[in-house]
Amino acid sequence: MILNEKDLLNKKYKILICGSGPAGLSVALELEKNKIECLIVEAGDEFYSEKAQNRYDGQIIGNFPNNLSASRLSQFGGTSGHWGGTCRTLDDYDFKKWPINKDDLEPYLQESCNILEIPNSFREKQIAKNLKIIEFQESDVRFYDKYYKHVSNSKYIDVCLNSIINNVKIQNSKIQEISIKSKISFSIKADFLVLACGGIDNSRMLLWFRENNKSISRKLPIGNYWMEHPFKKIGSGVGNFKAIRKSFKNNFESFENFRNWGNFTVSISPTQNLINEKDILNSGVFLTLHDRNNDNLKNNVKDLLCVAPSLSKHILDLFDKNLLCGITLSSSWEQNPQLENQITLSSSKDFSGIPLIKLNYQLSDQTLRTAKEMVNQVGNYFIDQDLGRLGADKTIEESSSFISDAGYHHIGGTIMGNNQNSSVVDENLKLHDIENLYVCGSSVFPTGGHANPTLSIVQLSLRLGEHLTKKLKTI
Amino acid sequence: MNKDNFNSKRREFNKLVFKYIVSITLLNLYLSNGERISDISNKKRYSKIKWVLSSNDV
Ligand SMILES: Cc1cc2nc3c(=O)[nH]c(=O)nc-3n(C[C@H](O)[C@H](O)[C@H](O)COP(=O)(O)OP(=O)(O)OC[C@H]3O[C@@H](n4cnc5c(N)ncnc54)[C@H](O)[C@@H]3O)c2cc1C
């Protein structure tokens, strides 16, 4: 049901969820399935509002390429209102630093795919000693479109829009009261509070709660190890269109849901063996083929013939047979967790009194080395299979000037782990110090892999919903 | 080689040469800006891409 702030006065909920994005709504859906009432408090309106969105402004120190406000959305359904919808599960070796592993999320995969309306199919096939091709799925789900009506009619999910959770009162390691700033300011009680404010604001809220409550330990690395997925065109090439199509089609005969940009796009990833051997990060490289009318092909041919004149005859031959194509290599890849990449609170505040954030962000050498190594590996695969020639763009070769775009995937800051000095939440996503405060979203990922995060966020949220259901039975 | 045979070989050769010239012209036209494919190879211009090449390519 959609409620207004006056309906909430003197009410007590079992579970209060802060944020109605994919994370918050998925927790609520799982609770609803188990017939448990919850309240979602959402800072935004039903649709976009400048007032709510302005809370997302902030200050950047370093090389973060995206605008902090444009990279998320404050409204019912959260950032799913303008997400791209690309989905893939994390690889099992992405969980190396996590306190849980891929099998722990597996029971929630089918239901997560149902929520996102995608087939539960994320196949991969090794094509060389060091490389595999991988499958993505594309979701068209916007959580507002799919769930607004549903929650409006729900007996178990209440939602209050245009309302901001702006503080908590903690006593005896438990949250006793939650302050909300709406048209009026008031407090509410709940047995459990779940923060699902997105990959930046989960850190922001916890930092702010800590400023106001001594019982949240200074030792918790809140805001630290923040990550993105660098996303960039990393290389170019020239090749035999038919041979490339055939080579990858053969491997992917029945893989229909390829990531499909341009004429034909293949997604390639390093094997675990390559990651370990070369000490690189996980990565997805996308090859897009361009036809002969595309300037990419002309420029790439010119460039290649400068350095490899003996290839002229071969290129001429392909051109003659109308088989020559240009190739663009783009990549979305993993960033390693670094202590210095962190979210802190700024001295300016939003209209609800919560400080805006400061983001410190740099890319590491390992991140750049990963991109170079992948061009090298895929380039050698092209030589071995006689598919064409690939090369790295000068932008990734000249380290000093390297700045990458980013995929709008906000990871880390409230990372999961068993040790209170090096993590913020435990394996059940509970804040180490506090008995009834949980955090959900990609902010809890200790490492981010290369796959887009939302499918894993939904899996983790369903798992949290199930955990809270069990917890409530023990009270 | 008799005359017919010679003529047919010559025709085949002429066809090949013609095809080669047309291809070169087309590729040169395609590359535009009055650049010729031979110029490109010889000029060793500054390349914007760090190519992954085999030892036979250079
Ligand atoms: C342009 C773009 C493209 C993307 N493409 C993809 C993609 O292809 N694949 C993919 O997997 N991911 C993609 N993402 C990322 C994806 O959108 C996020 O992973 C996902 O939305 C995160 O869900 P969330 O619920 O954790 O946070 P959000 O969706 O950001 O929701 C958080 C909600 O919490 C509310 N909130 C915050 N603070 C408070 C408070 N104090 N009180 C009350 N409410 C509060 C906010 O208003 C917001 O509605 C993309 C993102 C962008 C911006």
Which chain B residues are closer than 8 Å to A380 by Cβ? Answer: 52
Instruction: Round to whole Å and give the CA distance between A236 and B51.
Output: 9
Regions of chain A where pLDDT drops below 50: 252-263
Residue A424 phi/psi, 5-degree rounding, is: -105, -40
**ipTM given for this complex:** 0.85
Residue A128 amino acid letter: A
CA distance to partner chain B, nearest, from residue A380 (Å): 7
The answer to whether A38 and A178 have CB atoms below 8 angstroms apart is no
Longest C-alpha distance within chain B, in Å? Answer: 55
**Predicted local distance difference test score (pLDDT) of residue A295:** 77
Does residue B30 sit at the A interface (CB-CB below 8 Å)?
A: yes
Select the residue of A301, A316, A380 nearest B52 (Cβ to Cβ): A380
Spatial CA neighbour of A198 closest among A73, A98, A95, A66: A73
DSSP B45: P
**Predicted local distance difference test score (pLDDT) of residue A287:** 86
The verdict on the CB of residue A42 being under 6 Å from ligand 1 is yes
The verdict on the CB of residue A471 being under 6 Å from ligand 1 is no
Select the residue of A307, A312, A382 nearest B58 (Cβ to Cβ): A307
Whether residues A391 and B56 touch (CB distance < 8 A) is answered with no
Instruction: Round to whole Å and give the CA distance between A411 and A405.
Output: 15
**Predicted local distance difference test score (pLDDT) of residue A255:** 38
Q: What is the DSSP string of A410-459?
A: -EEES-B-S-TTT-SB-TTSBBTT-TTEEE-SGGG-SS--SS-SHHHHHH
Q: Whose CA is nearest to atom 1 of ligand 1?
A: A83
Does residue B58 sit at the A interface (CB-CB below 8 Å)?
A: yes
Q: Cα–Cα distances in Å, from A256 out to A128, A137, A265, A290?
A: 21, 10, 12, 20
Q: Whose CA is nearest to atom 38 of ligand 1?
A: A197
The verdict on the CB of residue A409 being under 6 Å from ligand 1 is yes
Does residue B16 sit at the A interface (CB-CB below 8 Å)?
A: no
- For chain A, first and last CA: distance in Å? 26
Alpha-carbon torsion (A422, A427, A433, A437), positive or negative: positive
Give the model confidence (pLDDT) of B12-54 as tens digits: 766 666 666 666 666 666 666 555 555 555 555 567 899 999 9
Q: Which domains does chain A have, with CATH numbers?
A: 2-54+141-221+415-472 (3.50.50.60), 86-140+230-333+364-403 (no CATH)
**Predicted local distance difference test score (pLDDT) of residue A475:** 76
The answer to whether A262 and A327 have CB atoms below 8 angstroms apart is no
- Nearest atom in ligand 1 to A452's CA: 11
**Predicted local distance difference test score (pLDDT) of residue B29:** 64
Q: Which residues contact A285 (CB under 8 A, 6 or more apart)?
A: A234, A267, A268, A269, A329, A330, A331, A374, A375, A378
